[in-house]
Amino acid sequence: MLGQRSADPGPGSHYRSDRISAVNGQYFFATREGTLEGPYFTRVDAEREIHSYVERQLQAREIIEKSRTRNL
C-alpha cells in the first residue's frame, strides 16, 4: 500500500482542455501565452504546427540562455 507523507500536497483536480478549435471550418490552436495560432485547413495541420511551435519556443529559449551566459 502506498502512503502519503504529511508534506505531500493533497489530491487536486487537473483539467485538460483541447487546445485546437474549429471556427468556420478552419482550425486554430491556443498557446499558453494566450495567442491563437492559425488558421489551418485541417486538424492534422494544426496538430503538426503545435509541435513546430513548441520546437521554435524551445529554440528561442536556448538562444536567449546562450546570449545571457555570453554577456556575463
Q: What's the domain range around 34? A: 20-70
The answer to whether position 46 is within a domain reads yes
The answer to whether position 31 is within a domain reads yes
Q: How many domains does the chain have?
A: 1
Greater pLDDT, 9 or 37: 37
The answer to whether position 39 is within a domain reads yes
Convert the pLDDT of each residue in 24-58 to its tens digit.
999 999 998 899 999 999 999 999 999 999 999 99
Least confident of 8-17, 36-45, 55-64: 8-17
Per-residue confidence band for 69, with pLDDT thresholds at 50, 70 and 90: confident
CA 7 centroid distance within chain: 29
Q: pTM for this structure? A: 0.68
How many percent of the chain have pLDDT more than 90?
61
The answer to whether position 3 is within a domain reads no
The answer to whether position 53 is within a domain reads yes
The answer to whether position 58 is within a domain reads yes
Is-contact 57 69, C-beta < 8 A?
no
The answer to whether position 9 is within a domain reads no
